[in-house]
Structure 1
Amino acid sequence: REVKEEIGIGLEAKQLTQIGVFEAPAANEAKHTVVATVFTYDGDTIEPQMAAEIAELSWVSPDQPDVVLAPLLADFVFPAINSKVS
């Protein structure tokens, strides 16, 4: 439901694999923490759309030198994904 609300994509549970629950400092709110349950998606290629309170949407890679990643992505999500791929 949340994915549909935030980026306009309906997913089925059978297409998702949980890779972890992570807690990290919020990227844009000092002294706040975010907690995320993160999944990989195994399905058709889909194009997300900005919806709800999403102000910006872009594809990022951990090796893009000009992109500052949120702590959640840099410290937890990308390393978890990389360990699954390796």
Structure 2
Amino acid sequence: MSDHLNIAAVRITDSEGRLLAVRKAGTQRWMQPGGKLEPGEAPLQAALRELSEELGVEWAPGRLSSLGVWEGPAANEADTTLTAHLFAASWDAEHDGDGTVGAELAEGAWLVPAEAVLRDDLAPLLRERILPTLL
């Protein structure tokens, strides 16, 4: 029997068309900022909370737009599937900073989508659902 996770994830792009990807501490796969929904939490609320925790940004709900829901394998939990509530947002370096990651993340990077498709260290959600929306 496999486990199941409900998450919210945010596709963040900058003015150059690059995608912000993060790697959580103790993991190898790159993914979008985001995380698990807490009990009773709506996906949009979870996305905003995770952005605050991971990137230190406090965004209004209207800054995110829905990209729908994706179901597939989890990146870092064996034998686990996930339901990902996806959102999109644009990064404004003047107001949002440089994308420095918070304590629960090991690192962040701005990826060029056309180059990122060649990588083998991307989470399934990023590789199968997010990148195709940018190519």
- Smaller-chain TM-score bracket: 0.7 to 0.9
Q: Which residue is equivalent to 1:68?
A: 121
Residue 31 of structure 1: aligned partner: 79
Point out the structure with the larger strand share. Answer: 2
Question: Which residue is equivalent to 1:82?
Answer: 134
Tell me which residue corresponds to 1:56. Answer: 107
Give the TM-score of the pair, scaled to structure 1: 0.72
Q: Is the 8 A contact 1:62 1:74 kept in 2?
A: no
Structure 1 alignment gaps of length 5 or more = none
RMSD: 2.3
- Sort the Cα spacing of 1:32 and 1:58 in 2 relative to 1 into closer, same or farther, 3 A: same
TM-score by length of 2: 0.50
- Structure 2, unmatched stretches of 5+, are 1-48
State the Cα deviation string for residues 19-62 of structure 1 (Å, max 9, x = none).
11222212222212233222111463332222142122112234
Aligned pair partner of 1:12 in 42, 47, 60:
60
How many pairs does the alignment contain? 82
